[in-house]
Chains A and B, each alone.
Chain A
């Protein structure tokens, strides 16, 4: 029997709101299945399970905001679980309203267990903690007004009122879901929350990471010519964008200079064997997310194009998978379509490098004593000087250029 917990979708994530269960209790799940939607400051994520089994009763209902690590549901192994699940589902937790409870697991107001897993240590008075337990108020949804932001009894009482919890009575099925997430939202819009998350990440980066920056001009004549030829043979939907070539070349260059691909953890560089490129996607409502493109070095150009299109679409729709949100080993930011010439990035900790691309423009280019007009891009590298030195950075940019000049091999 395993525990399905609120995942950490980034080092700066403290709580997440369970938006929707995508499975029902008793349903068989397999490792990798998407079972729930979770909203964080960074947006909506599809959360996968990491083991096979049978979903148990939800311990956290839709709409509830809980600390990272909170058990959301148990996953029972094999068949012994089915019986247990039924036993647990059997007592009518709701007043027997019309409709089947089993079909709407997310809506069934679970009698909130006093403590699921270890709650995050927030300053909270013992009396408030007890009252929260008694009323079934989740501390993660409560804003403290006591000394140093400590949660006090009155905060619990206010939260209980706002969430429609009166005494020990359980609120009707449909009410808690909309009101619970609405509660923090009244205090803080998602955009504000995301801004704060970004602020935390970049502040940490600037505080901890001694950046160094390198820059080079790359002539894109050959790759773009190659791409134009390729695209001519494709339907519009299958056409590949130049940025795919850039990403692919980054992945290959990282194979040549692996020290830029990985994490700085516990005072040492941990090079990652996989190359997952976090690709900064600006959101229309503001803010940005860097979902990971997995195994870019192993994908063909066409595959990468598809994966990237899918990823951008899902990111903007707010439907990322949890693994995509967290496991980038390096980041690429492309501000070319915003018209800038070059970008000097802030590394996303604990990564050790960020590659930036500006706009592809025609520029005068001198080569072999001749001056010509070429489509060029300014590629930059922001790297963690603790992990690498300028020498490796220079080797990387050189490799990047070399791979771009051989587009057919990308």
Chain B
């Protein structure tokens, strides 16, 4: 018997913070850069106290100019640094889209393999905090479309704690999407938690009847839904994608080979979504495993509403997941 690992109570915010601090300690090439990360302590208070600890050279406040500071991050990475660039929300990252898509993702190829861009960009994403239509969307799926990028979606404390270091070690640009509703999530984390792989999906709950494929904050909605469904005798298997690009097809395909039914829960908009991509791959590679058409539960195709009840109604929720699964299983 191995010794029980010591656990400690923590939050998602703390886990991210620990990961950044550890990287800053371990590698002098690492620095954090973004809007309000220094004096203000980060829009979501992730970098609170870091300026005092690491100084303004390594915790750098930037002007409100995403294209500028993301470009600076790319330049620093090309120059041998290991920058962590924080973009306040994914909506703002659109201002840096040219830097991310046309520069970071392509330079290795445009330089004939000469220049890697070892850049990590962290962004807050997702709805649920009444931040309305310019701060609350989920564009992870868009970025997952781009060759040359790695796109990560840590949902658990372990992944919030462990993905950053592995991402920094990757020689190419990695985007890490932190759902803003998760920062306050509390839980137990191993005291010695460290780097995790960024290649594979995980089965977060095994089940024989139906596969729920999801990622990020929707993971917990799916787990809650699976708990309710289990009381009715429906065993849903919950898969956390973790990496949105590349997708770990093998994990969910293996699950579908067991369950023959799939519901994809994706906070993105349905049209052209990551859910659509996964659905297509299932058709291509697991068609003969399917006992039901693949179904998707996505956000309503509206700009994210501000009013709480409307925002809630626009997102996949535990109730809607449960109802969809019940219908699929023929339980009304």
Contacts and interface: CB of A to CB of B under 8 A. Distances in A.
Contacts of B288: 126-127, 129-130
A145 B330 CA distance: 9
A152 interface: yes
A125 interface: yes
Interface in A81-97: none
Interface in B275-301: 287-292
Contact of B292 (A125, A129, A130, A145): A125
Contacts of B290: 125-127
A146 interface: yes
A147 interface: yes
Give the interface size bracket for A toward B. 10 to 19
A128 interface: yes
A6 to B, nearest CB: 26
A150 to B, nearest CB: 8
Interface in A130-181: 130, 145-147, 152-153
| Interface majority SS (helix, strand, loop, mixed), chain A | helix
B242 interface: no
A152 B290 CA distance: 9
A125 B260 CA distance: 10
Interface string A103-127: 0000000000000000000000111
Give the interface size bracket for B toward A. under 10
Contacts of B260: 125, 127, 153
Task: Find the residue from A125, A145, A147 having the highest chain B CB count within 10 A.
Answer: A125
Task: Find the residue from B288, B289, B291 having the highest chain A CB count within 10 A.
Answer: B291
Contacts of B330: 145-147
A127 B291 CA distance: 5
Contacts of A126: 287-291
Nearest to B256: A127
A145 B288 CA distance: 19
A153 B209 CA distance: 12
A127 B292 CA distance: 8
Nearest to B328: A147
Contacts of A146: 291-292, 330
A266 to B, nearest CB: 35
Contacts of A128: 291
Interface string B307-332: 00000000000000000000000100
A277 to B, nearest CB: 49
B263 to A, nearest CB: 14
Task: Find the residue from A126, A145, A146, A147 having the highest chain B CB count within 10 A.
Answer: A126
Interface in B222-271: 260
A211 to B, nearest CB: 43
Nearest to A156: B291
Nearest to B257: A127
B326 to A, nearest CB: 13
A373 to B, nearest CB: 69
Nearest to B287: A126
Contacts of A145: 330
B257 to A, nearest CB: 9
Contacts of A129: 288
A246 to B, nearest CB: 56
A271 to B, nearest CB: 48
Contacts of B292: 125, 146-147, 152
A326 to B, nearest CB: 37
Nearest to A152: B291
Interface string A54-79: 00000000000000000000000000
B121 to A, nearest CB: 40
A129 to B, nearest CB: 7
Contacts of A130: 288-289
B105 to A, nearest CB: 36
16 contacts: A125-B290, A125-B292, A126-B287, A126-B291, A127-B288, A127-B291, A129-B288, A130-B288, A130-B289, A145-B330, A146-B292, A146-B330, A147-B292, A147-B330, A153-B260, A153-B291
10 tightest Cβ-Cβ pairs between the two chains A and B:
A127-B291, A125-B291, A130-B288, A126-B288, A127-B260, A153-B291, A126-B287, A152-B291, A126-B290, A127-B290
Given A125-B292, A127-B290, 11 more contacts: A125-B290, A125-B291, A126-B290, A127-B260, A127-B288, A127-B291, A129-B288, A145-B330, A146-B291, A146-B330, A152-B292
